[in-house]
Amino acid sequence: MLSRAAWSLLIRTGGLGTRGAHSPRGTASSQRRMSPYVDCYAQRSYPMPDEPFCTELTEEQRALKEKEKGSWAQLSQAEKVALYRLQFHETFAEMNHRSNEWKTVMGCVFFFIGFTALVIWWQRVYVFPEKVITLTEERKAQQLQRLLDMKSNPIQGLAAHWDYEKKEWKK
């Protein structure tokens, strides 16, 4: 209960900052105010930021802001674009424009796949031992002959398919 009262007092007095609101006198001041987002640039999900993109204006920009208060018919297209750029960082077309970041990501993915392939090749050549002697074709043939000589698994195994009289596989 006490924390709720303290919180409401802080908000009413502006102790932690208050959110800015647009007023007829111009944009809200950026002092003692909590911005709803970390960056105050226009985004597709939040197209109207609380504070303008350019907060510190040059003399030329101040003159343009004064001219803005008059009739907009007197403004040229370049001046209207300059006023827009003072208020917003990007247009919607620029916000929706695809970036080329996917090329960098795919390049990194293929680089690491290639690097991994090189490491595996290096391990097969220099780290792993030579082929085990029991996996050579000569040894495999000797193991098969030994199994047949021992007549192992004569009902359903190898010995069942070997003809011992003709010394060849049954057809």
pLDDT tens digits for range 24-79: 444 444 454 545 544 555 666 766 767 777 788 889 889 998 888 888 888 999 99
Q: How confident is the prediction for the chain on average, in pLDDT? A: 79
Residue 19 has pLDDT above 50, yes or no: no
Residue % of the chain over a pLDDT of 90: 29
Rounded to an integer, the average pLDDT of 119-146 is 92
Highest mean predicted confidence (pLDDT) among 1-15, 97-111, 125-139? 97-111
For residues 14 and 85, the model is more confident at 85
Cβ neighbors of 118 (< 8 A, separation 6 or more) are none
CA–CA separation, 155 and 92 (whole Å): 78
Rounded to an integer, the average pLDDT of 143-170 is 89
Res 10: pLDDT: 54
Name the token pair of 90.
């990007």
CA–CA separation, 92 and 10 (whole Å): 37
Query: What is the Cα gyration radius of the chain?
Result: 40
Contact (CB, 8 A) for 148 and 168: no
Residue 101 has pLDDT above 70, yes or no: yes
CA–CA separation, 20 and 17 (whole Å): 9
Res 46: pLDDT: 67
Residue 125 banded pLDDT, cuts 50, 70, 90: very high
Q: What angle do the packed helices 59-68 and 77-87 form, to 10 degrees?
A: 110
Name the token pair of 165.
């009289």
CA–CA separation, 125 and 132 (whole Å): 15
Residue whose tokens read 């111009």: 26
DSSP secondary structure code for residue 18 in this structure:
-
For residues 139 and 29, the model is more confident at 139
CA–CA separation, 67 and 80 (whole Å): 11
> pTM of this prediction?
0.40
Residue 88 banded pLDDT, cuts 50, 70, 90: confident
Task: Please choose, from the candidates 30, 33, 53, the residue with its C-alpha nearest in 3D space to the C-alpha of residue 41.
Answer: 53
